Structure formats: structure tokens, C-alpha cells
Amino acid sequence: MRDFIRRLNTGELSYGFVPRWRRWFIISAVIVVVSLASLVVRPLNLGIEFRGGADFQAPVQVTDSTADDLGDAVEATGLPELDSTTVTTIGEGTVRVQTRTLTVDEVAQVRGAIAEEVGVSSEEVAYSLIGASWGEQITERALIALGVFLVLVAGVIWIYFRDWRMSVAAIVALLHDLIVTIGVYALVGFTVTPASVIAVLTILGYSLYDTVVVFDRVRENVASLREGRRTYSEAANAALNAVLVRSLNTTIIGVLPVVALLIAGALVLGQGPLQDLSLALFVGMVAGAYSSIFLATPVLALLKERDPAMVEHRERLAHRVRKEERRAERRTGGSGSPVAVLDRDEDTDTDTDDEDGAGTTPTTEPRAGTARATGAGASGRSQPKRVPRSERRRP
């Protein structure tokens, strides 16, 4: 495992996250569509804080059948539209009953039915009426908080990284996580409470943290991009592989206690704020880890590759590759075996080569009185021609 991590950090082992961006975008689009469709088919189960209603609390020794017994007692009153009554237990000595908005007479009937079921007087059953306007205020303020958060996040990332494309990629990832979390809430049917809203705003911070960690490594890799031989997408993919293990470890360590809270809230304590909070945290943290790896970085790479400077950089790299291929062909003579040729400054063909690789290569003829050495010990230099002794003039 240690060798695997080392190979990822050094770039010896790499997976093409960025080159496969179409695959990740299709998967993300399907997830988003399913989440939005779930909101239409099965709308959110809003809590009493958002839709308004009556809240009753009574002291009772909680048993396994307490919630069912109280639900049946409330329905036995014969009042209309009490099918959506919610009964939850608070600890081992209190029960909570939430209904739709009731009139004064209906409150008295429901209060008496609860008191009779738990064996206490009506005065011991506390109740409160929550208007729908209060829920509207909570919703409005939550949306305002979300908008302010997104604007501040975009501004801070722009200032820190000095690149608006990173801000756009981070916001895309955040919106993805938000839609997925809300969609899962609709599919599962958990009640949306103020605790759920707090959890949703919290998981946006987790998602942002993973994205910033990846972007910071991307900035390090592209600092000397013009002097290297990689494109922006290749450098971003290398950065993503380098921080992959760290992101996964951070997510796993953060998710484990949230899973414990979710199990305790859903299976042990039953419906309540702990269940609502833990579900939003769990879904948001997993979605945030996914979006920072498979969505934010590919979006950033696509936006950056459209920059004129990056387009010029890719053309420069392509031209360099073509030139090296032509050099290799000249050295092998087109037959695959090396031959001795006259050395010269090969960089002089930079101005003569065109973009398609077609160009004329100037040749150098040997000077009179010299010959080209092709022996094993020849270094490729022109050697002077020796005149035979028989042909030399005698004085």
C-alpha cells in the first residue's frame, strides 16, 4: 500500500480522470436528473417548522408501542386530515405529536385524546401552534444564506487562486452536491427540519475543502507549465492523482462518525433531529468527495484549455513533437538502422519547418580536398585527403 501511494505521488502510477471527463459528466448528469425528478415525483416531507401545525408533548414511559398507540388515539378523534400526524419519542420519558394546523376546539380534542392515552391530565400535555409564515421566513433566510455563501466562496477562490475558472468549477461542484443531497432527502422521505438546513450548509464546506485541496496541487503543477512538456489537462490529472489518497482518507475518516450518528438516529432513537442532521451530512460528504475528483477538476481543465495561452502552448508542444520525429527519421535514414551523417546545428530548422512538418533541409557539401569519414572510429568530421607518395612532386 505504501508503494502504491508513493507511485501515485511521484506520477509513476496515474489514472486518467481528466481525459475521461465525458464519462464523469454523463454520470453526474444522470444523478442530477434523478435527484430533480425525485423532487417532482415525491416532494420533500417538510417538517412542522416549514408547513405550520400543532405540536403536542406529553410525559410518558416510552415503550416500543408508544408511537403507534398515540397515533391511533389521535386518529380515533375523528377529526379530518390527521393521516399525516407524526409521533416521535424524545428520550425515555416524553412523546411528541405533530399535526396539521388545528382550531381551538380541535386542539382541545387532540389534547384530551393524548392525555387519556398516556394516563395524565390535559393540563400536563403541552402544546404550541406554529404558523406557516414562520416556516416561510426560515426558508427565505436559508436561501439568502445559501446565496451569500456561494458569492463569498466564488470571490475568495478567485482572489486566492487568481483564476475565475477555478471559482466556476468550485460552484458547479457545490451545486451538484446540493441537488444530490436534496434529491436523496426526497427519495428517502426523511422530514426536512431546521437541522437539515444546517446540515446542508455544513456539507457545502466539506465539499469546498476537498475541491480547494485539489486546486492547490493543480496550481503547483502548472507553475512551470511553459517550460515543461505537459498540457494543462495532463498537469491537472497528475495533481488529482497525487492528492487522491489524501482525499479518500479524509472522506472516510469524516464519514465514519456520521454513519454512526445515522445508525443511532434512524435505528435506535427513531425519527428526530439527529437522524435528519446525519443523513444530510453523510450524503453531502460522499457527494463532495465525488464532485471534487470527477467533476470540479475536469471542468477546470476544460475551461482552461480554451484559454488562448493554453492553445498556443499545445501547438508549441505539438510542433516540438513533430520536429523530434523528423530528427529521428533523419538519424535512421528511414530504414530503422542508424547511419553516420554530418553533424550540424539542427536547431536551425526551426524557422524553415512549417506547421505540417514539410520543409526543406539545407545540405552541406564537403569542401574540396576533404572526404567524409565513415569508419568505425570516425567522429563525423571532414578529414584532409592524403596524396600518395608516388604522386608527390620531387624538388
Is residue 32 scored above 90 in pLDDT? yes
Q: Which of 67-81, 171-185, 275-289, 377-391 has the lowest mean pLDDT?
A: 377-391
Distance of alpha carbon 21 from alpha carbon 231, whole angstroms: 16
304-344 pLDDT, tens digit each: 888 887 777 777 777 777 777 777 777 776 555 554 444 44
* For residues 120-139, average pLDDT: 79
Which three cell numbers mark 78?
A: 375523528
Q: What is the structure's pLDDT at 383?
A: 58
Is residue 134 scored above 60 in pLDDT? yes
Is residue 185 scored above 70 in pLDDT? yes
Distance of alpha carbon 262 from alpha carbon 278, whole angstroms: 5
Which three cell numbers mark 80?
A: 379530518
3-state secondary structure of 116: helix
What is the chain's mean pLDDT, rounded?
Answer: 76
Phi-psi region of 319 (alpha: psi -120 to 50; beta: other; left: phi over 0): alpha
Q: Judge contact between 85 and 98, C-beta under 8 A.
A: yes
Is residue 25 scored above 90 in pLDDT? yes
pTM, two decimals, is: 0.68
3-state secondary structure of 334: coil
Spell out where 51-209 has E strands. 53-59, 86-90, 94-99, 126-130, 191-192
Top pLDDT among 313 and 394 is at 313
CB-neighbour burial class of residue 167 (10 A; exposed 0-12, middle 13-18, buried 19+): buried
Distance of alpha carbon 106 from alpha carbon 54, whole angstroms: 10
Spell out where the chain has E strands. 45-46, 53-59, 86-90, 94-99, 126-130, 191-192, 370-372, 382-384
247-270 pLDDT, tens digit each: 888 888 888 888 888 887 666 665
Q: Which of 258, 233, 207 is nearest to 317 (CA)?
A: 233
Q: Which of 23-27, 147-151, 180-184, 352-356 has the lowest mean pLDDT?
A: 352-356
- Length of the chain, in residues: 395
